[in-house]
C-alpha cells in the first residue's frame, strides 16, 4: 500500500454529496441572491420570491429525513451551504442557518413523533421557523428568562416577550422557551411549538440594524397565548437541554456564516486590487499588499478548518463543545478583520455603498454577539481546558 494512502484527508475535502450541494448553493447565491443584495439591504427585507426559491432548492430542510419531505442530508452539508450563501449575502445565510441548525435540529432531535409528523413536512417545504429564547433581561444569561407558561386544562397559557428573534417576519412556526415554574429556575424552562395563528401571539417591533439588515429581527409578544399540551417539544421542564444542545450546533452554523463573509470580502478585495492601478501598476503588484493578502487568506483558511473540524466531530458523535466555541469565536474575529482590511484595500471606494465591502464589514459585526458572545465563547473554552 502506498504511504500516501495512509494520510488523513484534509478537513476541507468534501464528500460527493457535500460538494454537489456546495456547488448548487454557490450557483444559487450568484444567480438568484447576488442581484438582490443591494435592494434587500436598503429595504431591510428579504425578497419574498427568494424565500420561495430557498424551499424549492431544498436548502430549508437539508437534515430533515426524507420521510418528512427533507433531503436526509448531513450537518456538514448544512454548514457548506450556509458558507456559500453567506459569501454573497449574510442575511440570506442566517435565514437558512437558523432554519437548519436550530429549528429543524430541535424537531429532529427532541420532538415527539406527533410533532415531527405535523411540522417537519411544513418546515421542509414551505414554512419558515424561528427560535425564541432571548429576552430583555436574558441575553448571555439565557436561563434568566421571565416568559411564563401556566397549565390550564388541555393547554398552556404563555405570557411574556421575546427579543432579537431572527426570521420573525417570515416565520410561521416558532420554538418558544418559557418557564412553567419560576421557583425551579432553569429546571422549569420548557420548549413550546407556537404557530403564528395561535390566539395571543403576535410579531411586534422590527429592529433597524447595522448589518444583516435584510434578515428580520423582531420582538415577539405572548399575551395569554394558548398552546396545546401536545406542543411541548422535548420533556416538560427540560427546555434548557433543548436550548443548550441546539445552540452548541448553531454556533458552528454561525462560524460558517462568518467564514462566508470573510471569503466574500476577500474575493471582492482581490478582484479590486488586480484592476486598480496606482503609480503605473496594479495594487496587487505591491509587496506590502501581497503580504496583507496572504495573511487574510491564511486567517480565512484557519477559521474554515476550525468550523469544519467542529462539524465533523459533531457528525461523528464526538465531543465538540470546545471546538464549536473556538470556531465561533475565531471565525467572527476573522470576518471582522478581513472585511475591515478589504475596505482599506479599496481606499475611499470601500467606504461607500456602491462597492460591496462596506456591507461585509457591517454584516460581520454581529458574529461576535449572537448565539453566544465572544466572551461567552472564551469562558466556555477556558472551562473545558481547565476541567
Distance of alpha carbon 283 from alpha carbon 281, whole angstroms? 6
Beta bridge partners, 151, equal 156
Distance of alpha carbon 305 from alpha carbon 79, whole angstroms? 12
Q: Which residue has the cell 478548518?
A: 305
Q: Which residue has the cell 431591510?
A: 44
Of 312, 309, 306, 313, the closest CA to residue 328 belongs to 306
Distance of alpha carbon 331 from alpha carbon 302, whole angstroms? 8
Residue 371 appears among annotated catalytic residues: yes
Distance of alpha carbon 67 from alpha carbon 70, whole angstroms? 7
Pairing of strands 217-228, 189-195: unpaired
Q: Catalytic residue, from 63, 135, 249, 371: name it.
A: 371
* H-state helical runs in the chain: 16-28, 37-43, 48-56, 75-88, 90-97, 105-110, 113-125, 239-275, 287-315, 321-346, 357-364, 374-386
| DSSP 8-state class, residue 387 | -
Q: Are 24 and 17 in contact (CB under 8 A)?
A: no
Of 357, 314, 313, the closest CA to residue 338 belongs to 357
Distance of alpha carbon 99 from alpha carbon 166, whole angstroms? 10
Residue 10, classified by CB atoms within 10 Å of its CB into exposed (0-12), middle (13-18) or buried (19+), is exposed
Of 90, 104, 78, 60, the closest CA to residue 18 belongs to 78
Q: Are 157 and 190 in contact (CB under 8 A)?
A: no
| DSSP 8-state class, residue 45 | S
Q: Are 27 and 37 in contact (CB under 8 A)?
A: no
E strand segments, 207-250: 217-228, 232-233
Instruction: State in Å, rounded, how far the first CA of the chain is from the last one.
Output: 41
Residue positions annotated with a catalytic role: 371
Amino acid at each position: 500500500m502506498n504511504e500516501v494512502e495512509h494520510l488523513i484527508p484534509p478537513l476541507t475535502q468534501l464528500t460527493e454529496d457535500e460538494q454537489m450541494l456546495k456547488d448548487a448553493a454557490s450557483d444559487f447565491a450568484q444567480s438568484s441572491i447576488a442581484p438582490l443584495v443591494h435592494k434587500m439591504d436598503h429595504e431591510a427585507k428579504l425578497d419574498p420570491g427568494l424565500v420561495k426559491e430557498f424551499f424549492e432548492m431544498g436548502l430549508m430542510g437539508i437534515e430533515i429525513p426524507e420521510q418528512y419531505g427533507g433531503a436526509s442530508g448531513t450537518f456538514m452539508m448544512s454548514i457548506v451551504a450556509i458558507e456559500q450563501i453567506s459569501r454573497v449575502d449574510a442575511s440570506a445565510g442566517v435565514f437558512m442557518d437558523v432554519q437548519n441548525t436550530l429549528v429543524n435540529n430541535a424537531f429532529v432531535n427532541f420532538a415527539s413523533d406527533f410533532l415531527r409528523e405535523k411540522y417537519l413536512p411544513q418546515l421542509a417545504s414551505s414554512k419558515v421557523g424561528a427560535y425564541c429564547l432571548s429576552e430583555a433581561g436574558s441575553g448571555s444569561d439565557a436561563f434568566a428568562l421571565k416568559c411564563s407558561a401556566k397549565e390550564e386544562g388541555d393547554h398552556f397559557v404563555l405570557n411574556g416577550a421575546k427579543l432579537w428573534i431572527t426570521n420573525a417576519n417570515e416565520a410561521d412556526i416558532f420554538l418558544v422557551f418559557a418557564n412553567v415554574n419560576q421557583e425551579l429556575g432553569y429546571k422549569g424552562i420548557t420548549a413550546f411549538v407556537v404557530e403564528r395563528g395561535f390566539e395571543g401571539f403576535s410579531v411586534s417591533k422590527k429592529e433597524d440594524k447595522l448589518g444583516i439588515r435584510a434578515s428580520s429581527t423582531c420582538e415577539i409578544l405572548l399575551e395569554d397565548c394558548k398552546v396545546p399540551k401536545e406542543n411541548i417539544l422535548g420533556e416538560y421542564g427540560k427546555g434548557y437541554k433543548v436550548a443548550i444542545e441546539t445552540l452548541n450546533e448553531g454556533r458552528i452554523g454561525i462560524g460558517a456564516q462568518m467564514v462566508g463573509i470573510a471569503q466574500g470580502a476577500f474575493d471582492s478585495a482581490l478582484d479590486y486590487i488586480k484592476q486598480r492601478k496606482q503609480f503605473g501598476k496594479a495594487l496587487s503588484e505591491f509587496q506590502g499588499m501581497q503580504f496583507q493578502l496572504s495573511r487574510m487568506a491564511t486567517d480565512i483558511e484557519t477559521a474554515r478548518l476550525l468550523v469544519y473540524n467542529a462539524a465533523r466531530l459533531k457528525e461523528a458523535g464526538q465531543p465538540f463543545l470546545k471546538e464549536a466555541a473556538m470556531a465561533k469565536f475565531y471565525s467572527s474575529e476573522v470576518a471582522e478583520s478581513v472585511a475591515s482590511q478589504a475596505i482599506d484595500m479599496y481606499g475611499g471606494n470601500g467606504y461607500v455603498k456602491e462597492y460591496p465591502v462596506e456591507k461585509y464589514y457591517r454584516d460581520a459585526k454581529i458574529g461576535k454577539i449572537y448565539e453566544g458572545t465572544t466572551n461567552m465563547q472564551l469562558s466556555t473554552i477556558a472551562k473545558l481546558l481547565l476541567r
